[in-house]
Structure 1
Amino acid sequence: MNSRVPLVSATDAPAGSRALLDAVHGAFATTPNMFRVVANSPAALQAMWGFFGALGGGAIPARLGEQIAVAVADRNGCDYCLAAHTALGRKAGASAAEMSAAQAGESADPATAAALRFALELIGQRGQVGDADVAALRAAGFGDGQIVEILAQVALNLFTNYVNIAFATPVDFPAVKLRSAA
């Protein structure tokens, strides 16, 4: 399947996207197709890359961020993000079994399980969570900053899921089978 918008490279991208695509390439040793799609808009690429960078330096460990990403991707039916974040989760130290469980919104670790439940509740309720949902995260050991970052991880992954689903971005990571139908 072809992408619904062009996959641009650092040589044919708008001028405002070229340096960012070089940074993406430097981080991944390749330029994933998702970034090549988003690079059609320098503003969108700057927003996405900045969002990844900011959360990468946050209080939520990369492993948990990737587990949240696969849960969100599976819930939204995003093949691209499921494949990408499964690979990134493995690089962040999660086992294949942990990533598969996260895809279903599950974890043997109580804190991770609480974060995944909250992430999926945010999606299912379109942000309309209640006091008990936030209290469950606090009870699992998350502080207020971490709770905000869990929501930010969900928001970033909604952005990337929608990009890849809407524009039919060709998957360039090892494929992972979706568990749920979007």
Structure 2
Amino acid sequence: MSRLPLIQPDTATGKAADLLAGVQQALGVTPNMTKAMVNSPAVLEAYLGFSSALAGGALSAPARERIALLVAEENGCDYCLSAHSYIGATIAELDDAEIAEARHGRSADPMAAAVLAFATAVVRAKGGVDEAEVKAAQAAGLTDGEIAEVIANVALNVFTNYLNKAVDTDIDWPVVRHHAH
């Protein structure tokens, strides 16, 4: 059971109600993660703003979902693995094999593999990548903007992983469990 209350859209008031209504309108559902975040409307607003800004960037939805799957697996976040396995399949149209490979930083697609290789370096080094890893990402075809976006997507997903693990958010997606590392 979630360690913070899950604020329900029908009982929320003020800014929390407005933010949850926006989530419901945009997604057609109000995920438990957003109901936990809105205990502080500033937290949900920050998440939505960061996520929305990155959605308008150079990295495609499938690339962002692959990063989310990798980071969730690395951090052992079952809530995020469950959410992004579902979103990856239904919205980003990743097949089961690509979802499974992304969790381990791999892809059959060369550009996706380059994104995941750099994202793996970023998450494992907690941002402390060396110059060779940046040069390898560039040599594999990532632009400087895409490199910056990979780092930002890792950071966004670390935030959601940490929040969902810390508050033990009830999983409201088809459940996927991380592998023991």
* TM-score, length basis structure 2: 0.95
Check the 8 A contact 1:74/1:180 in 2, yes or no.
no
Q: Residue type matched to 1:117 in 2?
A: A
Q: Residue type matched to 2:144 in 1?
A: D
Equivalence for 2:96? 96
Q: How does 1:30-109 map to 2 (within 5 A)?
A: 30-90=29-89, 91-109=91-109
Equivalence for 1:122? 122
* SS across alignment from 2:175: coil
Cα deviations by residue, 1:105-137 (Å, 9 ceiling, x for unpaired): 111112211211211211211111111111111
Check the 8 A contact 1:14/1:41 in 2, yes or no.
no
Number of aligned residues: 180
* SS across alignment from 2:106: coil
Equivalence for 2:151? 151
Deviating more after overlay: 72-81 vs 120-129: 120-129
* TM-score, length basis structure 1: 0.95
Equivalence for 2:139? 139
CA distance in 1: counterparts of 2:121 and 2:12, whole angstroms: 37
Deviating more after overlay: 55-64 vs 103-112: 103-112
Check the 8 A contact 2:105/2:113 in 1, yes or no.
yes
Structure 1 residue 14: Cα displacement: 5.0
CA distance in 2: counterparts of 1:19 and 1:13, whole angstroms: 8
Check the 8 A contact 1:122/1:128 in 2, yes or no.
yes
Cα deviations by residue, 1:89-108 (Å, 9 ceiling, x for unpaired): 11212111101100111111
Check the 8 A contact 1:7/1:36 in 2, yes or no.
yes
- Structure 2 unaligned runs (5+)? none
Kindly report structure 1 stretches of 4+ aligned residues shifted beyond 4 Å.
none
Equivalence for 2:110? 110
Check the 8 A contact 1:71/1:103 in 2, yes or no.
yes
